Amino acid sequence: MAFFDIFKRAAKRIARPFRIFKISAMELDNIQCIAVTAMFIALDLAIKSLSITVIPNLKISFAFLAKASVGMIYGPTVGFIEGFLSDIIGYLIKPTGAFSPLFTLVEALSPMIFGLFLYNLKLSRKEIRDKSLQKQNFKAFVKIVLAKLTVVVICNLILTPIALIISNSMEAGQFVYGSVLTDYPKRLIKNAIQYPVDCVMLIAVLPIVSTAYSAVFKRNKKLSERKENLE
């Protein structure tokens, strides 16, 4: 019996990532999801236009706030779509070099990762001030910090350099990696410095987004019950 319980819990943990994608996809049945996601895509593009270029192919941008907000509200599936569309639309509005689907994939993975960590996150300004919910708030803050760390490592430090090497090699007609490796220490330093700042911004902004969203929109009751079961 004990073995069966252990197996059952393990099966639930394995199935959870797949369920969260399915439940997130159900958000798309609601027109408000499409409208709000479109708003965040516009915000994403607006913030990107204000990005600061450190060196070629290395920028400081706060568009992650819009991506994290979408992931938190609507989950990884909608987050992936937001990242995909924002990159495509951004390229159509302001093309920068040859189009590469690899960079689009990286852009789409970022809000998806935020969605995996932050979907159904219980966090609002009122809850932060409530001392009885300190343990819950601490868990929420840890999730935010881990979500951003995962995005930095997977998207910024691993996939983006790989995409740059592949893109540069395709343009040159031969394997080219020198410039990417030369700039990698700068990429590491930039991300290491920006990471704590980004975490503070996320912890400050996401409760406001969550509170504002809850105040303006009423969630689908059936969908909310499914989301509660993800805990």
Interval 56-69: pLDDT, tens:
656 677 889 999 99
- When comparing pLDDT for 222 and 108, which is higher? 108
Domains of the chain are 2-228 (1.10.1760.20)
pLDDT exceeds 60 at position 13 = no
pLDDT for residue 3: 47
pLDDT for residue 127: 57
The pair of three-digit structure tokens given for residue 95, joined into one six-digit string: 């093309």
Mean pLDDT lowest for which of 79-88, 160-169, 173-182?
173-182
Mean pLDDT lowest for which of 84-88, 143-147, 155-159, 220-224?
220-224
Average pLDDT over residues 135-162: 92
Instruction: Tell me the percentage of the chain whose pLDDT exceeds 70.
Output: 78
Short-list 158, 145, 73, CA closest to 109: 158
The answer to whether the CB of 85 falls within 8 A of the CB of 45 is no
- When comparing pLDDT for 73 and 99, which is higher? 73
Residue 54 CB contacts under 8 Å (≥ 6 apart), including other chains: 60, 186, 190
The answer to whether the CB of 79 falls within 8 A of the CB of 114 is yes
Task: Give the model's confidence band at 231: pLDDT under 50 very low, under 70 low, under 90 confident, else very high.
Answer: low
pLDDT exceeds 70 at position 14 = no
What's the chain's average pLDDT? 83
- The pTM score is 0.83
Mean pLDDT lowest for which of 1-10, 52-61, 78-87?
1-10
The pair of three-digit structure tokens given for residue 59, joined into one six-digit string: 């920028």
User: Rounded to whole angstroms, what are the CA distances from 103 to 95, 131, 205, 216, 223?
Assistant: 13, 43, 26, 34, 32
d(CA 159, CA 203): 25
- When comparing pLDDT for 38 and 138, which is higher? 38
Which residues is 58 bridged to in the sheet?
55
Q: With helix as H, strand as E and coil as C, how does the chain read? A: CHHHHHHHHHHHHHHHHHHHHHHHHHHHHCHHHHHHHHHHHHHHHHHHCCCEEEECCEEECCCHHHHHHHHHHHHHHHHHHHHHHHHHHHHHHCCCCCCCHHHHHHHHHHHHHHHHHHCCCCCCHHHHHCHHHHHHHHHHHHHHHHHHHHHHHHHHHHHHHHHHHHHHHHHHCCCCCHHHHHHHHHHHHHHHHHHHHHHHHHHHHHHHHHHHHHHHCCCCHHHHHHHHCCC
